[in-house]
Amino acid sequence: MAEVRVPELGESIVEGTISKWFKNEGETVAAGDAVCELETDKVNLEVISETAGVLRGVTKAVGDTVSVGEVIATIEAGTGAESSAAPAASQGASTPASTPAALAAPTPAAAAPVAPAAMATPVAAAPLRETLNASPSLRKMAREQGQVGISAAPATPVAAPQALPVKPSAPAAAPAATAQVGVREERVRMSRRRQTIAKRLVEAQHTAAMLTTFNEVDMTAILDIRKRRKDAFKDKYGVGLGFMSFFTKAVVGALKAFPRLNAEIQGDDMILKQHYDIGVAVSTDEGLVVPVVRDADSMTFAAIESEIASLAKRAREGKLTLTELSGGTFTITNGGTFGSLMSTPILNAPQVGILGMHKIQERPMAVNGEVQIRPMMYIALSYDHRIVDGSEAVRFLVMVKELVENPESLLLEG
């Protein structure tokens, strides 16, 4: 027997949650096959079998928490052909191979009208074999019921269907009650990642002395550049010219001028970073993740756009690595993609600054004594007042505004 253990999950991550089993107990596994998937605080990882054989001794079900190094299954040497070829009847109801066959008989338990309502969960919709292999406790219960079903099967095939019309009013009332409860409220357990996000956001608010300052940016110049250059840019670099490259360059320029916004607090010390690794918030089905654009100060506009596009794609596919999610020095988040006009971003600890972008909206503005309609964007800077003074934060945001409104200066300052 070879043990299947939870692998190292990354720096500071000591446990995970089983989110999916790719192999059922009793199935053949080849060396290099993924047997299950683990959800951690940051990414999902596959547990790989190092040996070939048959999956046995599964001890954890979907949703269970496991620790690094913990044994969650074993691999029995062999191909699994012998066990699958053996007749189910000769092995008895206690073996995994005979359990599905035994439960296939129309026993009273299988025909009971309340079974669908009682098991109205995602697991219940799966095939019986997958359901049994998802939980050791369910497998044990199913084996015990399977023994009863085999011995009672000859006497009950006809009786089970006849038991349905005994109380016609009860089955009719049950679905209605279930539907009413389902429509009015639903209890859904938060994923491990969502729990971690919630915990860290609350910690950031309780730990940092967080304040937010606001300003607005005239986006006329950037929109003009994008209109004139977007086709040529796309043809040359294979990626669109978006707003993020301009704001990333502007943020880097402002961080160089105000270094305490590119820092973190460790005890009584400030760690001032001399590198500019900009986190870019990406929304996924499982919550917000912040992959990092490394050394953004040395990257071209095209390189920044390509890297952000690549990181965002992998984030939504759940393929980001732990390295890509760690070590950022400052974060940019764009609520404008969802239509937000103004918001207060929360710090991504241990960082002490985060810039919030918002929706571009045309508004009447006074320009050189005249009222003109301009495409305007509100921007927000949340900062940790423990090491960043209010005047620093205001001047930082003003510099971002000035650099964005004068894109040519980004070539010098960014």
When comparing pLDDT for 60 and 111, which is higher? 60
Instruction: Indicate the range of 40-54, 71-85, 254-268 predicted with least confidence.
Output: 71-85
DSSP state letters, 88-144 = HHHH-TTSTTTHHHHHTS--HHHH-TTHHHHT-STTTTS-HHHHHHH-HHHHHHHHH
Say how many C-beta atoms besides its own lie within 10 A of residue 7's C-beta. 14
* Same-domain pairing of 179 and 206: no
* Same-domain pairing of 238 and 286: yes
Looking at the structure of the chain, the number of domains it has is 2
DSSP state letters, 145-174 = HHHHHHHHGGGSTTHHHHTGGGSTHHHHHH
* Same-domain pairing of 171 and 99: yes
Q: Which of 184, 203, 229 is the last residue of a domain?
A: 184
| Tokens, residue 399 | 């510099």
**Integer Cα distance of 48 and 364 in angstroms:** 60
The pLDDT value given to residue 181:
52
* Same-domain pairing of 155 and 212: no
In this prediction, residue 122 has a pLDDT band, given cuts at 50, 70 and 90, of very low
* Same-domain pairing of 220 and 86: no
The pLDDT value given to residue 322:
82
**Number of helices and strands in the chain (H, E):** 15, 19
Instruction: Indicate the range of 197-201, 257-261, 266-270 predicted with least confidence.
Output: 197-201
pLDDT at 82 over 90: no
The pLDDT value given to residue 16:
86
* Same-domain pairing of 68 and 133: yes
The pLDDT value given to residue 11:
61
Q: Which of 137, 163, 184 is the last residue of a domain?
A: 184
* Same-domain pairing of 118 and 201: no
Strand partners, 9: none
Average pLDDT over residues 300-324: 91
In this prediction, residue 161 has a pLDDT band, given cuts at 50, 70 and 90, of very low
In this prediction, residue 205 has a pLDDT band, given cuts at 50, 70 and 90, of confident
pLDDT at 246 over 50: yes
CATH (domain of 327) = 3.30.559.10
Residue 224's domain comprises 193-413
In this prediction, residue 164 has a pLDDT band, given cuts at 50, 70 and 90, of very low
pLDDT at 313 over 50: yes
Average pLDDT over residues 282-311: 92
Q: Which of 184, 201, 222 is the last residue of a domain?
A: 184
The pLDDT value given to residue 412:
67
Q: What does the H/E/C string look like for 229-267?
A: HHHHHHHHHCCCCCCHHHHHHHHHHHHHHCHHHHEEEEC
Active site residues: 385, 389
pLDDT at 237 over 50: yes
* Same-domain pairing of 210 and 176: no
pLDDT at 135 over 70: no
Average pLDDT over residues 91-102: 40
In this prediction, residue 222 has a pLDDT band, given cuts at 50, 70 and 90, of very high
The pLDDT value given to residue 40:
81
The pLDDT value given to residue 54:
92
pLDDT at 368 over 80: yes
Average pLDDT over residues 59-64: 88
* Same-domain pairing of 47 and 72: yes
Question: Structure pTM?
Answer: 0.63
* Same-domain pairing of 222 and 348: yes
* Same-domain pairing of 174 and 201: no
pLDDT at 298 over 80: yes
* Same-domain pairing of 173 and 64: yes
Amino acid at 221: A
Q: Are 253 and 413 in contact (CB under 8 A)?
A: yes
Averaged pLDDT of the chain? 78
Instruction: Indicate the range of 40-54, 244-258, 300-314, 340-354 predicted with least confidence.
Output: 40-54
The pLDDT value given to residue 152:
35
CATH (domain of 148) = 2.40.50.100
Average pLDDT over residues 169-179: 46
The pLDDT value given to residue 160:
42
Question: Where do we find the tokens 């669109």?
Answer: 240
